[in-house]
């Protein structure tokens, strides 16, 4: 291998391992918070249209591993890529932590709380730390989570 090719390969490997590359592959805390703010505005404008967009990942509501999810007053998901209609309130993480119950407990209109739990990244099985920003909008508990 020529020296030039070796240096190019090493540069690519270093970039792939850098925090910048990591941030591009996965959503950040700031991006999750911004998406929640956008989701809140959408729910306030038209709840049914917003929940449909969240469900489909349309309108900028799906970005890498970031997406909003919501639960209604009955405790069931009203929008989630795979769990819509199932109980959000009874959801537990991979260690048994009742994260859904905690989300409902801390959600307040006009305030954003954080709930941390262990959850696998999309397409993986090993749980890692995830933090969701949670708020209440009308009768919906909505959140956007990011992986640490």
CATH assignment at residue 125: 3.30.450.20
- Report the DSSP beta bridge partners of residue 76: 87
Q: In the beta sheet, which residues pair with residue 142? A: 70, 135
- Count Cβ atoms below 10 Å from residue 111 Cβ, excluding itself: 10
Residue 112 lies in a domain: yes
Domain residues for the domain of 91 are: 27-147
Evaluate whether 145 touches 28 at the Cβ level (below 8 Å).
no
User: Quick one: pLDDT at residue 122?
Assistant: 84
In 1-148, DSSP assigns E strands to 68-71, 77-79, 113-120, 127-137, 140-147
Does residue 1 lie in a domain region? no
Which one, of 137, 146, 145, 147, lies nearest residue 50 by Cα?
A: 137
Instruction: Judge whether 124 lies within some domain.
Output: yes
Within a domain: residue 21?
Answer: no
Q: Is residue 39 part of a domain?
A: yes
pLDDT at 42 over 90: yes
Taking only the tens place, the pLDDT of each residue in 14-28 is 444 444 444 488 999
Task: List helix spans (H) across the chain.
Answer: 3-17, 19-25, 29-45, 47-56, 99-106
> Contact at 8 Å (CB) between 46 and 75?
no
CA distance 121 to 89: 21
> What pLDDT, in 10s, does the model give residues 120-148?
998 899 999 999 999 999 999 999 999 99
77, part of any domain: yes
Is 50 part of a structural domain of the chain?
yes
Share of the chain above pLDDT 90, in %: 79
Cα–Cα dist 138/110, whole Å: 10
Domain-embedded: residue 34: yes
Please say whether the dihedral angle defined by the alpha carbons of residues 31, 57, 37 and 135, taken in this order, is positive or negative. negative
Domains: count for the chain = 1
């Amino acid at each position: 291998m020529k020296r030039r090719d070796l240096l190019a390969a090493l540069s690519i490997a270093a970039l792939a391992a850098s925090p910048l590359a990591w941030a591009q592959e996965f959503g950040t805390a700031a991006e999750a918070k911004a998406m929640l703010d956008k989701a809140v505005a959408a729910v306030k404008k038209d709840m049914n249209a917003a929940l449909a967009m969240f469900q489909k990942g349309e309108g900028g509501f799906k970005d890498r591993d970031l997406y909003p999810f919501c639960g209604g007053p009955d405790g069931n998901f009203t929008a989630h890529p795979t769990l819509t209609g199932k109980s959000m309130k009874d959801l537990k993480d991979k260690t048994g932590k009742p994260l859904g119950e905690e989300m409902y407990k801390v959600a307040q209109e006009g305030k954003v709380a954080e709930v941390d739990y262990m959850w696998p990244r999309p397409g993986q099985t090993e749980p890692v730390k995830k933090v969701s920003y949670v708020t209440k909008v009308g009768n919906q508990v909505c959140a956007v989570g990011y992986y640490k």
